[in-house]
Amino acid sequence: MVSGTLSVDALLDKMARETRTLIDHRNLTDPLMIGIRTGGVWLAERLHQQLELQSPLGVMDISFYRDDFTQAGINPKVQPTQLPCATEGRHILLVDDVIMTGRTIRAAMNELFDYGRPASVTLITLLDLQRRELPIQADVIGGTLALGPDQIVKLNGPDTLSLTIRQRD
């Protein structure tokens, strides 16, 4: 079991390299990067810069698309999704901090498709916690992590990014 803090910068470098390879390999012309609030946005900002992407960065809030409406209620602090251009026919690079059950990504894709039909969607996450409940996988992963039953991981930001792992309250 891991505990304490982890360096994000090293993982980011790895993710940037792998994403570059993938973009070239799959011929993803003029990709549109979209970060999922909040952690995904922090990561996307850095990746967007490192990859020197042309199209401006998009920001997505998936609160209204979550499937745990009954347990969690509605988040009153939702800020709107801001996509700088149409997604129809574009190659999307979707960025999030963590993939665990896969439900957030499912919600993000549903929302994305309400905006239009993309040409492709590539998923980039910092961490994979390997507790899938849906058949969704990331294309680029910073690292995998096996947490203990009472542990949670959190991405801290926005200025300096770091990961902390701690016991659940």
By CB under 8 A, name the binding residues for other proteins.
Answer: 64-74, 76-81, 83, 98-101, 103-104, 110-111, 114-115, 129, 152
Dihedral angle computed from the Cα positions of residues 64, 108, 15 and 129, in that order, rounded to the nearest 10 degrees: 80
CA distances from 117 to 30, 50, 52, 98, 134 (A): 16, 27, 25, 25, 22
Q: How far is the CB of 94 from other proteins (least distance, A)?
A: 14
Check: CB of residue 105 under 8 Å from CB of residue 123.
yes
Nearer to other proteins, 28 or 90 (CB): 90
Nearer to other proteins, 23 or 97 (CB): 97
Q: How far is the CB of 23 from other proteins (least distance, A)?
A: 25
Check: CB of residue 22 under 8 Å from CB of residue 122.
yes
Nearer to other proteins, 78 or 146 (CB): 78
Give SS3 for 53. coil
Q: How far is the CB of 107 from other proteins (least distance, A)?
A: 8
Q: How far is the CB of 25 from other proteins (least distance, A)?
A: 28
